[in-house]
Chain A
Amino acid sequence: MPPSAGRTIAGNQTGSASARLLIPLCGVLLVIAGVLTYRWWTGEEHVIRGRLESLATLLSPAGDSGFSTISRIGQLRGYFAPDVRVQLGGDEIISRDALLALVSRWQPPTKNLKIEFVDVSVTVEDDTALASLTAKLSNTDAAAAEDTIADAREGVLTFRKLDGEWVISSVESTDTLQR
């Protein structure tokens, strides 16, 4: 047998041995990935992130009419604790009713405004959770190629469970640049 033929046979044996190892290893990795994805999907952090996304949609006045404003305010009630405390700069609001009254009175400069929460980081501890994020207010003009940022503020939201639902119990804005 020429020396090269021996090398080929040995190489094939090594190849099939590593292939035999690779298949169960991939299987184990897939199972781990599946378990982690399932835990993340059903975890409280995912629920809170979902609540924040729908809250941002509700807060965005894009295409809002008078009737939908009333409906929007009604839905927003479910996102805040009755004793919610909101601190924005030097202003403080200390009840859900006062906060919703303020939101309903808000006259956005344009209907094309969109609110998004970006860079969200959630920490869950038993029945409370903290979410640090940047609230981004963009102008979504259809004529423009891209949305332009009208304003952005960072803040920390505290959540607590109320009747099985995560509600916001405090909102505190943070000054990125402090004077």
Chain B
Amino acid sequence: MRILFGSNPRATIARSLTIIAVSAIVLRFVLLPVRLEGISMLPTYEDGEINFANRLAYKFKTPVRGDVVAIRMAGESVVYVKRIIGLPHEEVRIRMGTVLINGKPLVEPTVRYRIPWNMAPMTLRTDEYFLVGDNRSMDMMNHDFGRAMRGRIVGKLLY
């Protein structure tokens, strides 16, 4: 027992309770643990990687192009992890694998492999963002991407 609780059991219990309370608060209100599954974010993130979504990232600023974010489904048990490529009111189009924002090609240094995807132009509404994974070598039909409302963005990935 002495090994478990040390010379001052009260202090040990107080420290343990503090750590538990702080962890619970951080995991509930600040960070959402995310285990990435699938290949849609290759080569940036490998299948099975662990990361955290920072819930506070957009409390005082808006999401910007290039941010990798977690997007909730019905809740936060399962989330998508995608990169923002289109911002509100912009026109997004994909032509032969190249993303066009308001008609201009988007430079995407994080995309290494791509096949010629095509998507008709789409204008984003207020509070809408266009999200896609970095792996464009997948068949377009097998890759979940598209627009989502700001309210669905849980937070920005930490690293």
* A contacts, CB < 8 Å to B: 118-121, 132-134, 136, 146, 148-149, 152-155, 175-179
Contact = CB atoms under 8 A, between A and B. Distances in A.
Nearest to A119: B75
A98 to B, nearest CB: 25
Contacts of B73: 119, 134, 152-154, 176
B75 A134 contact: yes
A121 B76 CA distance: 12
* Central interface residue in B77, B145, B147, by most chain A CB within 10 Å: B77
Report which residue of A120, A153, A179 has the largest number of chain B beta carbons within 10 angstroms of its beta carbon.
Answer: A179
A179 B80 contact: no
Contacts of A178: 146-148
Contact of A118 (B78, B80, B131, B148): B78
Contacts of A148: 37
B71 interface: yes
Given A177-B131, A179-B122, A132 B148 contact: no
A179 B119 contact: yes
Contacts of B148: 176-178
Contacts of B150: none
B80 A177 contact: yes
A117 to B, nearest CB: 9
Interface of B: 35, 37-38, 71-78, 80, 82, 119, 122, 131, 144-148, 152
B132 to A, nearest CB: 9
A177 B78 contact: no
Contact of A132 (B74, B144, B146): B74
A156 to B, nearest CB: 9
Interface centre among B35, B75, B82 (most CB of A within 10 A): B75
A150 to B, nearest CB: 9
Contact of B77 (A119, A153, A155, A176): A119
A154 B72 CA distance: 10
Contacts of A153: 73
Nearest to B122: A179
Interface pairs A-B: 4 shortest CB-CB: A119-B75, A177-B146, A118-B77, A154-B73
A166 to B, nearest CB: 19
A125 B113 CA distance: 51
A135 to B, nearest CB: 9
